[in-house]
Amino acid sequence: MRLAIVCSWLNQYGGAERVLEVLHGLFPDAPFYTSIYRPERLPAHFRQWDIRVSPLDRVPLARQHPGLFLGSFPQAFESMDLRGFDVILSVTSAFAHGVITSARARHVCYCLTPTRFLWDYHGYVERERLGKVARTLLAPRLVRLRQWDQLAAGRVDRFVAISRTVQERIAKYYRRDSDIIYPPVAVDADVQPAEPADYYLVVSRLVPYKRIDLAVRAFTELGKPLVVVGDGRDRRALEQVAGSSVTFRGYVDEATKRDLMRHCRALVFPGEEDFGLTPVEAMALGRPVIAYGRGGSRDTLVDGATGVFFDEPTIESLKKAVQRFEGISFDGRRLIEHAQRFDQAVFGERIAAVLEKAAGETRE
């Protein structure tokens, strides 16, 4: 099977890039096609990959300010020469599914979500706190981009969603069926649950839509210790509203993060995510999760068994969930067993089966 992997962009390190790392491990000979690439903002090992960029990558300021070039991304992906590949795997939340493949090739789209700023414009504007000027510039561009996005979805032979939430969006916006394969998390079945220390934990980029403000304000009002790991443009504002029970650690290395996670009372996950890798990482270390009960959390958590949900994105709802959590006993071993459903090995087997099937369907 001659495989090419296409991703929307490579300009930061997050959940999508962690999926790409696993895919590279599974298919080390597959090249990666993308629109723009900023190696300095990614782990060093990405520089060893076969990464092929679009002409947009050479346009001044496109790497640094991609939002200014939204209208150029469709052309960037349509210009990619994917001849010679049997299977194209696009991993995308924007634009990458729009590549044009040969008549004989099969295109599988691993959809992280239909593009948020196209299909959830008002929610996107609110989450990102876009100013009036940005909204004025953005809105007129979206009509044609939505039309292009739907046409691009028609080029995909098979959609695979990362969660039920994303599956529902694919059905609504693209009118397409999809299977679900959950994103991969490294789960060590032999890890031993640790006794928790007296703190709760947030691990996240500190950006508006993650809703870390809910956690900071709730734990400030409760007077309970909360450790916040991560950084981002919201950090200063969060520090200003945080009480003495909240500690900001900034970015930490992977070993420190895992140690903090392994010994926390619970991971707090206050935002709505399409899937959410971090809660699974916490469960894989034997720790429960307090999460907003929307989005991917509904796929990964069992209320009362692996954590607790709060139903409204409010401080009071989260405070009540923390209080309910403290009245429940959780079995660390059961949490680890539950997390194994999302292990990298499970992901690898399922995505490989989809791609092998696609390879067998290539047109002569």
Percentage of the residues of the chain whose pLDDT score is greater than 70? 94
Range 19-42 average pLDDT: 96
Spans of all domains in the chain: 3-184+344-360, 200-342
Same fold, 3-184+344-360 and 200-342: yes
Ranking 108-112, 274-278, 352-356 by mean pLDDT, the lowest is 274-278
Find the Cα–Cα–Cα–Cα dihedral 89, 93, 95, 98, rounded to 10°.
40
3-state SS, one letter per residue, for the chain? CCEEEEECCECCCCHHHHHHHHHHHHCCCCCEEECCECHHHCCHHHHHCCEEECHHHHCCCCCCCHHHHHHHHHHHHHCCCCCCCCEEEEEECCCHHHCCCCCCCEEEEEECCCCHHHHCHHHHHHHHCCCHHHHHHHHHHHHHHHHHHHHHHCCCCEEEECCHHHHHHHHHHHCCCEEECCCCECCCCCCCCCCCCCCEEEECCCCHHHCHHHHHHHHHHHCCCEEEECCCCCHHHHHHHCCCCEEEEECCCHHHHHHHHHHCCCEEECCCECCCHHHHHHHHCCCCEEEECCECHHHHCCECCCEEEECCCCHHHHHHHHHHHCCCCCCHHHHHHHHHHHEHHHHHHHHHHHHHHHHHCCCC
Range 326-331 average pLDDT: 94
pLDDT digits (tens, 9 = 90+) for 39-82: 999 999 999 999 999 999 999 998 988 888 888 999 999 999 99
At residue 46, the pLDDT reads 96
- Helices 332-339, 277-284: crossing angle, 10 deg rounding: 130
Range 249-263 average pLDDT: 94
At residue 133, the pLDDT reads 58
Using the predicted structure, report yes or no on whether residue 201 has a pLDDT greater than 80: yes
Using the predicted structure, report yes or no on whether residue 176 has a pLDDT greater than 60: yes
Ranking 90-99, 130-139, 296-305 by mean pLDDT, the lowest is 130-139
CATH of the domain spanning 3-184+344-360, picked from 3.40.50.150, 2.40.160.210, 2.40.420.20, 3.40.50.2000: 3.40.50.2000
- Residue 134 carries which side chain, given as an amino acid letter? A
Range 333-337 average pLDDT: 94
Give pTM, 2 decimals.
0.88
Fold of 200-342: Rossmann fold (3.40.50)
Ranking 133-142, 143-152, 216-225 by mean pLDDT, the lowest is 133-142
Report the mean per-residue pLDDT for the chain.
92
At residue 70, the pLDDT reads 87
Residue 177 C-alpha from the chain's centroid: 21
Using the predicted structure, report yes or no on whether residue 353 has a pLDDT greater than 90: yes
